[in-house]
Amino acid sequence: MGKLLLLMTIFSAASSAIVRPWTGIVSYYLLAILGPQYIWWWNFDGLRVSFWIAISTLLGITLKLLKAELDFTFLRTTLNAWLFFLWVCLVMSYLLGPYVNLYISNGLKPDTIFSITNNIFLFYFCSTLVVSDLKSLRYLGTVFVCVTVYLIYWANNQYFTQNWNQFYMGRLMGPRSVDGSSLYSDENVFAMLFVAGIPFLYYLSFELRRRWQRYILWCVIPLGWHAVFLTGSRGGLLGLGLITVLTVLKSKRKLMVVPLVVVFVLAYQLQAGNTMKQRGEMISQYQGEGSAEMRIAAWKGGWSMICTHPLTGVGLGSFITALPRFYDTNPRVAHNTLIQYTAESGLGAGLSYLMILCCFFLGSRRVGAWCNDNREGADTSLIRSLNNASTVSFAGLAVCSLFLSLTIYEIFFFLLIFNNTLERHCLRGARPVNAEALTC
């Protein structure tokens, strides 16, 4: 019965994507962020859901292109120019990197990473073409809220039902299928989902018509904190603290600062557990702490790679392979997104990444200024909510990327869509569209 329902859903989504490609983009990111094939794997077994959604979406975009119904101004932005340059650097490092063909059996193969990278960039650029109004952007935000709420429920359910098989050394892992495959097998990556999703729960709740619905979403947020605590991720804890402070600072009610900080501290003391507290106490320490020392060793090795191969890097997906040759340590990723990009794909990739960060925050600032100048606009409330949510989320990821390698993290590119679309709307005067409040 479940597989039949899934087949009907696939057919409906694929058909809709051909006529309205933005629905295919929404479906694609639902699959890419939630990973239902790892949660209900028995229904997805043998079904290439992502493939059929992708093909239908690309077909729909092609038909729109032939009919000249696409607005390329959303594609021709400074942010997208740097993203394209980043992609070029990644391709060149894959083709010319000296360590690409020396793969060792640890981590994903360069060929696999190259394929994943191309898919991520392809669908991001397709998204900028078809997600060009507030209606489609609002649906993307709603999907992210739903995904975050469900995975918060899933994470807490593993704890309260005492499903200890889902924990590794006291740290919660994400959903995984029977063969062990998962989007969130790394506890740190799983924690990043909640760091990015919680701001959307808070800000998009203001677009709900009924106050009680808003309060329900707010009540989910402490459970989201608990989900991060369960992962035992120190990067997640730092990101969580940052998004909490930024949310308060961007709020008009500054008096909420003290009580919200108190609530967060109490939640940490009561909910964090021994694993999270022990790891949290080591954030400011690195000497004698194995995980921190390994990160520093990886950073030193990455710096040596950059100095030796500044143009092409060691090759896409080859950091793990090359690290022991540049520093006396065990193979591992860089645990720093900037170093990972630069060491693997050259200085051009590192510069592109930094410029993408700058373009995002500058664009967010311009959108915020537009909202302040157009307080009476019909769409101002929705634009402000989406801008605040994506900015706070992106800031959390940016901080966490100092300690994690998020080079193929889909949510990073997902947040860029909001920034790109909102900025283009504000530059064009944000022509009125049907931007009704969210309903349940």
Q: Please state, for a pLDDT cut of 70, what percent of the chain lies above it.
A: 87
- b vs e for 201-236, b when ≥16 Cβ sit within 10 Å of the residue's Cβ? bbbbbbbbeeeeebeebeebbbbbbbbbbbbbbbbb
Q: Which of 60-69, 95-104, 213-222, 342-351 has the highest mean pLDDT?
A: 342-351
Please give the pLDDT value at position 289.
46
> What's the mean pLDDT in 325-342?
91
203 versus 168: which is more confidently predicted?
203
pLDDT above 80 for 217: yes
pLDDT above 90 for 27: yes
Please give the pLDDT value at position 432.
41
Please give the pLDDT value at position 332.
87
Please give the pLDDT value at position 272.
55
Q: Please say whether the dihedral angle defined by the alpha carbons of residues 376, 380, 385 and 389, taken in this order, is positive or negative.
A: negative
Look at residues 206, 233, 187 and name the one whose alpha carbon lies nearest to residue 145.
206
User: Residue holding tokens 């120190």?
Assistant: 234
Contacts (Cβ under 8 Å, ≥6 apart) of 65: none
Q: How far is CA 157 from CA 154, 223, 232, 302, in A?
A: 5, 11, 16, 39
Note the pLDDT tens digit of each residue in 29-42: 999 999 888 888 88
Q: How far is CA 178 from CA 38, 235, 338, in A?
A: 8, 28, 34
Averaged confidence pLDDT in the chain: 86
375 dihedral zone (left: phi>0; alpha: psi -120 to 50; beta):
alpha
> What's the mean pLDDT in 146-169?
91
pLDDT above 80 for 61: yes
User: Residue holding tokens 């009540």?
Assistant: 219
pLDDT above 50 for 245: yes
Separation CA 111–CA 139 (nearest Å): 33
pLDDT above 50 for 57: yes
Q: Please say whether the dihedral angle defined by the alpha carbons of residues 224, 26, 178 and 397, taken in this order, is positive or negative.
A: negative
**Total residues belonging to the chain:** 440
Separation CA 392–CA 410 (nearest Å): 17
Which one-letter DSSP state was computed for residue 346?
Answer: -
Separation CA 309–CA 413 (nearest Å): 27
pLDDT above 70 for 22: yes
298 versus 286: which is more confidently predicted?
298
Please give the pLDDT value at position 291.
67
